[in-house]
């Protein structure tokens, strides 16, 4: 979560992350985003967590999304609804983050069939978008009915098709991956039955149908964006990114037209147009007298008269024209009567640097990314891939070594400070706590000063016990004790009645001996 390129990749309105290996840890946080996640349960045989889906949504757009938690029981899919009113759409859009396990995987559980059932329920209510890793290699096989025509309706004067039937539009797609695998037919049948279309190889940004996955032995296209046929006109463009040092799949981006009307988004648009640079003005003691003088000038009088005399049409152009003239007059008056206050420009965010990294690591990453771009555009150049994976292996080894050395140095410093300079020891811990960019590289016990203090404060404190459980246990034991059939006299508890009886019978009060 501290890698600059990874954070840059996440700088989108909405991100879908698959195969996160997140497990049951607490959700991580990204400034300015709300997060929705789903985990794959770990079995006893698994050594680590696998699978997992994370969705990040910019806070200003979050109100427009609804998390459909009960839409699927699968750990491999996560459904969201994009509200038509918030995004200015004709219909609600049902978005699904999808991971289809390989056909031979133990996690494969008829996922495509179950996905089709979910699609059938949502397709009635709105339009659909599916994005993710389908592990299906489709080559250029058609995802529509080829040579479809409604002329069959005129066969012997009998209408064989319903009046509402819409013929399939033939939009051919390009794909550099010419291989078909086991799951291809199921995916294409799903597209045909639900009138969904694969966006890869059909739009600007991926017009050549680039590969989306690379390993030592081969390339393949298994990551897709799939949308309802009626949504195709709203697709602005679809982009397949370069291979990078981050992972073996590429990032795919989908850009769609919408008309967001939320107030927070309007504010964001104003900020993007640099409205924050417009001066604000402060009224002073001299402003009133200056205002009288400015309103008496011929220039201002003329501008006000022109505004009053000019006719503006009752449409957008007319309103814009009147607003522009009035704003100019007000700015002239305010600039000559009030004290101007310029708002400070927003400072650019500093790029987060990984504390264990160095120039060699940065240069290796740059070389890997450069080769990734070359490979994307020259897949037939067999000399590029070995160099790419050689550098990738080198980077992993280098990263591991740098992290180890950084931790060793940090532990040594803390040990020295603890013995010789306790004040500096606590200052270092506080500094670590205030730097979220290095948290993942520091053990949890070192990140939280309060945890360390509490640990020593709790030494010698009795361990808490469950009072309700103890009370229940005592009641059960008493019941068992009362029901013992052959208990010895010495084993049975002495009752109050027995003590009174013996005390009366005795020559001297028995209670004196108790």
Three-state secondary structure of 110-161 = CHHHHHHHHHHHHCCCCEEEEEEECCCCECCCCCCCCCCCCHHHHECCECCC
pLDDT at 232: 92
Q: How confident is the model at residue 512 (pLDDT cuts 50, 70, 90)?
A: very low
pLDDT at 511: 44
- Stretch 27-40: mean pLDDT: 80
Burial of 385 (0-12, 13-18, 19+ CB in 10 A): buried
Window from 41-50, 153-162, 375-384 with minimum mean pLDDT: 153-162
Q: How far apart are CA 226 and CA 210, in angstroms?
A: 16
Beta strand 280-282 with 339-341 is antiparallel
| Residue 45 or 286, more confident | 286
Q: Would you say 130 and 49 are in contact if contact means Cβ atoms under 8 Å apart?
A: no
Window from 65-69, 122-126, 323-327, 386-390 with minimum mean pLDDT: 323-327
The rounded percent of the chain whose pLDDT value lies above 70 is 72
Would the pLDDT of 395 be above 80? yes
- Stretch 348-366: mean pLDDT: 79
Q: What is the CATH number of domain 4-263?
A: 3.60.10.10
- Stretch 226-232: mean pLDDT: 93
| Residue 255 or 487, more confident | 255
pTM of the model: 0.65
Window from 189-203, 298-312, 465-479, 483-497 with minimum mean pLDDT: 483-497
Q: How confident is the model at residue 171 (pLDDT cuts 50, 70, 90)?
A: confident
Would the pLDDT of 248 be above 80? yes
- Stretch 286-304: mean pLDDT: 89
pLDDT at 486: 47
Instruction: Output the six-digit token pair for 500.
Output: 């009174």
What does pLDDT average to over the chain?
79
Residue intervals in the chain for CATH 3.60.10.10: 4-263
pLDDT at 162: 61
Would the pLDDT of 441 be above 70? no
pLDDT at 118: 93
Which of 19-28, 293-302, 468-477 is the most confident on average?
293-302
């Amino acid at each position: 979560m501290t890698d600059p390129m990874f954070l840059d990749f996440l700088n989108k309105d909405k991100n879908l992350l698959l195969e996160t290996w997140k497990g049951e840890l607490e959700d991580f946080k990204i400034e300015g985003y709300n997060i929705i996640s789903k985990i794959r349960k770990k079995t006893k045989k698994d050594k680590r967590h696998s699978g997992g889906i994370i969705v990040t949504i910019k806070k200003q757009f979050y109100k427009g999304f609804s998390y459909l938690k009960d839409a699927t029981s699968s750990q491999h899919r996560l459904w969201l609804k994009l509200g038509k009113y918030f995004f200015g759409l004709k219909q609600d859009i049902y978005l699904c983050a999808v991971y289809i396990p390989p056909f031979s995987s133990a996690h494969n559980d008829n996922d495509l069939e179950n996905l089709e059932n979910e699609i059938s329920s949502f397709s009635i209510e709105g339009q659909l978008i599916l994005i993710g890793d389908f592990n299906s290699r489709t080559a250029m096989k058609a995802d529509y009915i080829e040579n479809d025509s409604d002329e069959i309706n005129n066969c012997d004067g009998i209408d064989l098709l319903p009046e509402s039937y819409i013929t399939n539009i033939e939009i051919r797609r390009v794909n550099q991956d010419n291989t078909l695998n086991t799951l291809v037919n199921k995916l294409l049948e799903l597209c045909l039955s639900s009138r969904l279309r694969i966006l890869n190889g059909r739009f600007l940004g991926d017009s050549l149908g680039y590969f989306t996955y690379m390993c030592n032995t081969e390339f393949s296209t298994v990551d897709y964006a799939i949308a309802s046929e009626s949504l195709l006109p709203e697709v602005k463009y679809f982009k397949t990114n370069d291979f990078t040092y981050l992972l073996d799949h590429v990032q795919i981006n989908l850009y769609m037209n919408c008309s967001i009307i939320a107030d927070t988004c309007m504010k964001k648009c104003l900020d993007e147009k640099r409205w924050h640079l417009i001066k604000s003005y402060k009224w002073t003691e001299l402003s009133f007298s200056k205002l009288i003088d400015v309103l008496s000038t011929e220039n201002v009088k003329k501008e006000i008269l022109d505004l009053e005399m000019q006719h503006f049409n009752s449409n957008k152009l007319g309103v814009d024209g009147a607003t522009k003239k009035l704003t100019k007059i007000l700015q002239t008056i305010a600039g000559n009567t009030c004290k101007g206050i310029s708002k400070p420009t927003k400072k650019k965010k500093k790029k987060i640097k990984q504390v264990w990294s160095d120039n060699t690591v940065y240069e290796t990453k740059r070389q890997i990314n450069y080769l990734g771009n070359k490979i994307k555009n020259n897949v037939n150049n067999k000399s590029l891939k070995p160099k790419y994976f050689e550098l990738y292996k080198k980077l992993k080894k280098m990263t591991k070594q740098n992290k180890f050395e950084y931790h060793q140095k940090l532990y040594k410093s803390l040990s020295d400070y603890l013995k010789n300079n306790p004040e500096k020891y606590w200052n270092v811990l506080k500094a670590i706590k205030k730097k979220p960019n290095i948290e993942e590289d520091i053990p949890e016990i070192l990140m939280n000063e309060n945890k360390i203090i509490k640990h020593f404060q709790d030494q010698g404190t009795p361990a808490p016990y469950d009072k309700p459980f103890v009370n229940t246990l005592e009641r059960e034991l008493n019941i068992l004790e009362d029901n013992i059939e052959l208990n010895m006299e010495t084993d049975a508890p002495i009752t109050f009645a027995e003590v009174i009886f013996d005390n009366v019978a005795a020559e001297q009060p028995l209670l004196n001996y108790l």
